Amino acid sequence: MKLAKNVVFCETDYGAVVLDEASGRYWTLNPTGALAIGVLLDGKNEDDAVDAVVELYPARRDAVSTDVGNLLDQLRKAGLVEEK
């Protein structure tokens, strides 16, 4: 996965921000969302992102997997990410 053209990902003290510079719209991500997206932007797959979240946060793997999938769907629908 990679960011779409004109999209910036910036980690913050509270998670991350994804900014669409073309529209001026931005989305905030909590720490778990930021971690998952960071793993994906590093070239790893969705399972790796789920593993990273489960390793750091007390959550069930199936719930994290659903959440990561939903986050990716929302980012794709908003046109913020695309496949490499």
The pLDDT assigned to 79 comes to 94
Predicted structure pTM score? 0.92
Domain map of the chain by residue range?
Answer: 2-82
> According to the model, what pLDDT value does residue 31 have?
96
pLDDT tier, 84 (very low <50, low <70, confident <90, very high otherwise): confident
Q: What is the pLDDT of residues 24-83, one digit of tens each?
A: 999 999 999 999 999 999 999 999 999 999 999 999 999 999 999 999 999 999 999 998
- Three-state DSSP at 13 gives coil
Query: Residue 10's pLDDT is what?
Result: 96
How far is Cα 60 from Cα 73, in angstroms, rounded to an integer? 20
